[in-house]
Amino acid sequence: MSVGADVSVRGWGAYFCGANMLLMVRVTFFPSHAEVRWGFRVSFEDRILRAADKNGTRTILALDLEDANASRLLKRSREVLQSVQGLICGVKINRQLVMALGLRAVADSIVKLANDFSLPTIMDAKLNDVGHTNGFMARTYFDMGFDAVIASPIAGWENGLDTVFEAANSRKRSVILLTYMSNPGAETFYSLMAQQPDGHGKPVFEILTDLAVEWKAQGVIVGATQPRVISRVRQLAGPNLPIYSPGVGAQGGDPKAALEAGSTYLIVGRSIYNSSDPAKAAMEFRRPIAT
Ligand code: FNU
């Protein structure tokens, strides 16, 4: 029996299974063979779990370096990624790199490099617009190779995030929803009590957690600065929904407290890339799961 994996074309791929069977499989553009197993795309959840197991870590690198000189920025970003690649389980890109380098350059350099290290990538787009604009952005990020996008549930479903989930589901990619941000000011809105039809109040973040479950999001963002909120979201969402927690280190959150409260992954930027020894800093974030 021979099985083929077509990793570089858009269209239909033909796979021979056994003597006479010809299996036609729809394939889209895969920027790296690291994302493909037997002709099928490996899901974001599986890729990040594998990297977490292999590297013994739950740290996602937020690669947000800033530099007015684009070639120096690209070089330094690649060096940081290279130096910590065996100590992280994913890479999150934000506007710092995309605005300075352009999306295509980020895809061709950083996303590709992450794929070469078998690390999945998240675009921190915080999508929060009407449907056709959200859909365009989600499709573009996915087609540039990102495995997951971050979106804000405040836009609602109909003609809001429906297009983001459509784009993700049809490409086997993932959507992570903001549920409680890590900055101190987040409390103003995310903790607000919203009146329910039965007259009782419910904090906004609990409503957003319920929406993440209802919409089958592949994860939620809850700031590491809020361990009590993390516990509550874990309680409401059950054991399987991944909780991604930014806000450790530079923003004051404690990695151990966040993981003990129920976070699945930590998102860490400045504490790693601003360190004089990024690998040593990334190693420190492995400590809470080793003990
Ligand atoms: P570091 N980020 C955040 N808090 O910090 N996406 C949130 O609630 C959130 C985020 C991002 O502080 C932030 O933009 F939803 O240097 C940055 O990219 O460790 C990263 O997480 C944290 O970076």
Whether residue 160 is found in the same domain as residue 285: yes
Whether residue 16 is found in the same domain as residue 138: no
Whether residue 5 is found in the same domain as residue 79: no
Residue range 142-172, pLDDT digits in tens: 999 999 999 999 999 999 999 999 999 999 9
Q: Strand 11-17 to strand 174-180: parallel, antiparallel, or no bridges (unpaired)?
A: unpaired
- List all residues 6 or more positions away from 196 whose beta carbon is below 8 Å from its beta carbon: 202
**Do 221 and 177 meet the contact criterion of CB atoms below 8 Å apart?**
yes
Whether residue 149 is found in the same domain as residue 8: no
Mutate to test the pocket of ligand 1, among 124, 248, 275 (most ligand atoms within 8 A of CB): 124
Backbone angles phi, psi at 151, to 5 degrees: -135, 160
Q: Strand 174-180 to strand 219-222: parallel, antiparallel, or no bridges (unpaired)?
A: parallel
Residue-range definition of the domain harbouring residue 6: 1-40
Give yes or no for residue 20 having a pLDDT over 70: no
Whether residue 204 is found in the same domain as residue 251: yes
- Could you tell me the distance, in angstroms and rounded to a whole number, from the CA of residue 113 to the centre of ligand 1? 22
Whether residue 130 is found in the same domain as residue 197: yes
Whether residue 33 is found in the same domain as residue 64: no
Using pLDDT thresholds of 50, 70 and 90, give the confidence band for residue 287.
Answer: confident
- Could you tell me the distance, in angstroms and rounded to a whole number, from the CA of residue 23 to the centre of ligand 1? 44
Using pLDDT thresholds of 50, 70 and 90, give the confidence band for residue 5.
Answer: very low
Residues in contact with ligand 1 by the CB-under-6-Å rule are 62, 64, 94, 124, 178, 181-182, 221, 223, 246-247, 249-251, 267-271
- Report the Cα 258 to chain-centroid distance in Å: 17
Compute the average pLDDT of residues 230-244: 98
Report which protein residue has its CA nearest ligand 1's atom 13.
Answer: 246
Task: Indicate the length of the chain as a whole number.
Answer: 291
Is 126 marked active-site?
yes
Residue range 267-282, pLDDT digits in tens: 999 999 999 999 999 9
Residue range 52-63, pLDDT digits in tens: 999 999 999 999
- Could you tell me the distance, in angstroms and rounded to a whole number, from the CA of residue 270 to the centre of ligand 1? 9
Whether residue 173 is found in the same domain as residue 158: yes
Using pLDDT thresholds of 50, 70 and 90, give the confidence band for residue 288.
Answer: confident
